[in-house]
Amino acid sequence: MTEKSKFQTVVREIMATSVTRVVLSILLGFFFGGIFMVLFNENVVATYSTLFTTPGDTFVAAFNTIVDGYGALLRGAIFNPEGRDLVAMFRPITETLRMAAPLVMAGLGLALGFRVGLFNIGGTGQIVMGLAGATWVATRMELPPVIHMIVAVIAAVVCAAAWGAFAGFLKARTGAHEVIVTIMMNYIALDFFTWMLRTKGLLLAATGGGTPKSDPPAATSMLPTLFGDMYKIHIGIFIAIAATFAYWLLMERSAIGYRFRMVGHNANAARAAGIKVESTFVWAMAVSAAFIGLAAANQALSNPGGITTSLNADIGFDAITVALLGGNSAKRIAAAGLLFGAFKAGSPAMQVVGVSPEILGVVQALIVLFIAAPPLIKAMLRLPEPAAEQKVVA
């Protein structure tokens, strides 16, 4: 087996992770996250000097730290019984849904690429190009309400899809590895977007110092909120639901999805069956980036103050985790997006009780590590494939 096919096999095995292993990975991630929480908490560290004389103090402090930390996560992400009114009590779940929406959309796009055997690391660049397209329409065009919003969303999808298709074209024509290509294109997209933000007349009316920021988007282009001024949640959550259904329909119920899956399973067999593998790579990267473009539209059209280069908020990289956690299932990707949306929504509440929000980053990293560990270990140790699987591949 070549290094390239081994890499694709590892990706395929990670994406085919069972629900049981996903659940265990999440539980282990929280378990070890709790250990890190205890090791570096000031209240627990203060009891280390009396650990051997009064160990109960250390255990109590450790227990309280874990309960307070994860309790704050729940209050910040799901429901806050300490809120001053019903609006404040239910605000956490609306924030989780709001932050989960772009993660779900981008996660679907990356998962599609993974299923075709393409490890798309260009989510950040594709989001940035989508931001550029949506922001230009939102700040430079005058259209009626609803139509303006739809055109801005389409612009985000088209710009992101074109950026992804170019990466697929380079792979198809030159054989360049998509990981290297998409990583390099991330930097190109970020620098291009920064140039657009700093250039008078493109995305802003006048140049100035400080952090580059676009003009505010027109009110007619904004995604409508669901509950007025009470909550920040907007119709992006419904776009995420529609994207999840569209992904399932495309990958499980269409001829295009069948070709995508066949190329991802065995490109040589697909080529022998008459499928144009190279053009499939281009189309797969374009469709993958189109889903990511929806996430860009979600970000660009929900911020009334204007767009900055940091607005992608690492969604492109977080979506990789969502895609790996969700595997091949649209429903699991949506659930993974909700989980990581909860992490983002609950992080400030953890900081309030004295727990470093970076702990959640550790939990996320550990979850991915536990999910990916078996295929990676098998690849690194060059363990042979099971006989049954070799027959299927052959």
Q: Is residue 360 part of a domain?
A: no
DSSP 113-147: HHHTT-----HHHHHHHHHHHHHHHHHH----TTH
**What residues have CB less than 8 Å from 36, skipping those under 6 apart?**
359, 362
What DSSP designation does 220 have? G
Which structural domain, as residue segments, surrounds residue 291? Answer: 98-341
Q: Give whole-number Cα distances, 306 to 29, 161, 218, in Å.
A: 36, 23, 10
Q: Which residue has the tokens 């956490």?
A: 92
Q: Give the mean pLDDT per block of 10 residues along the chain (394 residues).
A: 58 67 85 88 84 86 90 92 89 94 95 89 93 93 94 97 95 89 93 87 68 87 90 94 96 92 87 90 95 95 84 82 85 93 91 82 84 63 49 40
What pLDDT was estimated at residue 215?
87
Angle at 198 between CA 193 and CA 202, to 5 degrees: 75
State the Cα torsion 323-324-328-330 to the nearest 10°. Answer: -30
Q: Is residue 243 part of a domain?
A: yes
**Residue of 36, 41, 40, 58 lying closest to 49 (CA atoms):** 58
Whether 303 is covered by a domain: the verdict is: yes
The amino acid present at 358, given as its one-letter code, is E
Q: What would the DSSP string read from start to end of 23-79?
A: HHHHHHHHHHHHHHHHHT-HHHHTTGGGTTT-HHHHHHHHHHHHHHHHHHHHHHHT-
Instruction: Give pLDDT, residue 317.
Output: 85
Phi/psi at 213 (5° precision): -150, 140
Is residue 258 in a domain? yes
User: Is residue 207 one of the residues assigned to a domain?
Assistant: yes
Could you tell me if residue 38 is inside a domain?
no
Computed from CA positions of residues 266, 268, 270, 273, in that sequence, does the dihedral angle turn out positive or negative?
Answer: negative
Question: What does the pLDDT read at residue 50?
Answer: 84
Angle of the 255-265 helix axis to the 236-253 helix axis, nearest 10: 70
Helix (H, G, I), strand (E, B) or coil at 200: strand
Please report the pLDDT score of residue 209 as a whole number: 59
Show the tokens assigned to 183. 């990583």
- Summarised one tens digit per residue, pLDDT across range 143-158 is 999 999 999 999 999 9
The answer to whether residues 286 and 164 touch, using CB atoms and an 8 Å cutoff, is: yes
Residue with tokens 């536990």: 370
Domain count of the chain?
1
The tens digit of pLDDT for each residue in 311-362 reads 776 888 889 889 988 877 899 999 999 999 999 999 888 888 888 878 888 8
- With contact defined as beta carbons under 8 Å apart, do 28 and 127 qualify? no
Indicate whether 171 belongs to any domain. yes
Report d(CA 199, CA 131) in Å as an integer.
Answer: 16
CATH number at residue 149: 1.10.3470
Q: Which residue carries 């160990």 as its tokens?
A: 55
371's CB contacts (< 8 A; 6+ apart) are 14, 17, 21, 22, 25, 324, 325
Question: Beta-carbon neighbour count of residue 125 at 10 Å?
Answer: 28
pLDDT at 393: 40
CA–centroid distance for 272 within its chain:
34
State the pLDDT at residue 358.
82
Q: Which residues contact 229 (CB under 8 A, 6 or more apart)?
A: none
- Among residues 368, 367, 339, 335, which one has the least CA distance to residue 74? 339
Are 355 and 65 a contacting pair, CB within 8 Å? Answer: yes
- The reply to whether 376 falls in a domain is no
Q: Give CA–CA dist 99/344, Å, rounded.
A: 7
